Amino acid sequence: MTLPVDFVFTQNNLQDFVDCPRRFQLKYILKTAWPAPVSEPIEEHNRLIELGTQFHMMVHRFYLGIPADVITLHVTDEDLLAWWNAFMNNPPTNMPPGRQPEISLSMPFAGFRLAAKIDLLAVEKGKRAVIYDWKTTHQQPRPYFLKERIQSLVYPMLVIKTGGALNEYKPFNPAQVSMVYWYPAFPDSPVTLNFDPDWISSTEAKLTRLVNQIAEMRMEIYPLTVDETKCKFCQYRSLCERGIYAGNLDEEDEGDEEGSLLDINFDDIQGIAF
């Protein structure tokens, strides 16, 4: 089963492959629709996803220059207002002056394209760039696991290599770039990642190996993950005969140290009108 030549790699689909090759195959190659709750209780899961989406949209508007009182005019949800107030009272500090929310970056990579939509990129031209990602989960920030996420490789690499419009498409040195994960539920505990000069070559090699591995997959059914905890929160679990019932949100919050189902990014909410 070969990948289409115009396949675009993103942090989402690469992370899915790392988590479970079969999930990658079902979701992005076969495009298998398999409606099933991802976690229980369903209503609470959906509510938290909606809250995360709303928060991202509010912060996006804020960095477009829309006044805060206009942004919150029709917001009544107390949890969402608490996140917003946390953001307004304790926003990310030392942010470079050039700011571009919801910025798309892409480049050719290992015979395909690699792309990302970043929540906010802030640039001091020719000097530094900071990538911001709003993490609307209820998990305590865990720097070690964030550092290992594919997102923490793909976003900085695209910024370093392409420079982006705010830097007139001039590449950055890795040491000029940092990435901040900012949590409205934990506004005092943002996680900042920095990159040393060797980071780009080792990251490029790692991602190239991963893309090549995916491109060379030829089996009819890609391997199912051996970590069955991933199946509890996967929409395909009944298709894969890995259980009928969705995992519990509380369990997910405690158990999945590498990421969260409630983690929203603009890749997931494309198409929403702003």
Q: Which stretch binds ligand SF4 (CB under 6 A): 71-79, 196-204, 237-245, 260-268?
A: 237-245
Query: Which is nearer to ligand SF4, 36 or 81 (by Cβ)?
Result: 36
Q: How far is the CB of 20 from ligand SF4 (least distance, A)?
A: 3
Residue from 60, 236, 247, 263 binding ligand SF4 (CB under 6 A): 236
Classified as helix, coil or strand, 247 is strand
Whole-angstrom Cα distance, residue 266 to residue 101? 10
Q: Which two tokens stand for residue 207?
A: 């991602």
Q: How far is the CB of 190 from ligand SF4 (least distance, A)?
A: 30
Task: Give yes or no for a contact between 180 and 195, defined as CB atoms under 8 angstroms apart.
Answer: no
Whole-angstrom Cα distance, residue 256 to residue 4? 32
- What letter does residue 106 receive in the DSSP assignment? E
By CB under 6 A, the residues from 22 to 41 that bind ligand SF4 are 22-23, 26
Q: How far is the CB of 157 from ligand SF4 (least distance, A)?
A: 26
Task: Verify binding: residue 20, ligand SF4, rule CB under 6 A.
Answer: yes
H helices within 20-41, ranges in order? 21-24
Query: Which is nearer to ligand SF4, 26 or 146 (by Cβ)?
Result: 26
Q: How far is the CB of 255 from ligand SF4 (least distance, A)?
A: 14
Query: Which is nearer to ligand SF4, 177 or 234 (by Cβ)?
Result: 234
Q: How far is the CB of 133 from ligand SF4 (least distance, A)?
A: 24
Determine the size of the site formed for ligand SF4 (CB under 6 A). Answer: 13
> Which residues sit opposite 128 in a β-bridge?
124
Q: How far is the CB of 226 from ligand SF4 (least distance, A)?
A: 9
Query: Which is nearer to ligand SF4, 180 or 240 (by Cβ)?
Result: 240
Residue from 154, 240, 249, 262 binding ligand SF4 (CB under 6 A): 240
Q: How far is the CB of 158 from ligand SF4 (least distance, A)?
A: 27
Q: How far is CA 81 from CA 52, 67, 183, 196, 260, in A?
A: 12, 15, 14, 38, 22
Binding mask 215-234 for ligand SF4 (x = CB under 6 A): ---------xx----xx--x
| Contacts by residues 12-19 (CB-CB < 8 Å, ≥ 24 positions apart) | 12/265, 12/267, 12/268, 14/150, 14/154, 14/207, 14/210, 14/211, 14/214, 15/149, 15/150, 15/151, 15/259, 17/210, 17/214, 18/150, 18/210, 19/225, 19/227, 19/230, 19/258
Residue 226, judged by CB atoms within 10 A of its CB (0-12, 13-18, 19+), counts as exposed
Q: Which two tokens stand for residue 235?
A: 């929409």
Return residues touching ligand SF4 (CB under 6 A).
20, 22-23, 26, 224-225, 230-231, 234, 236-237, 240, 242
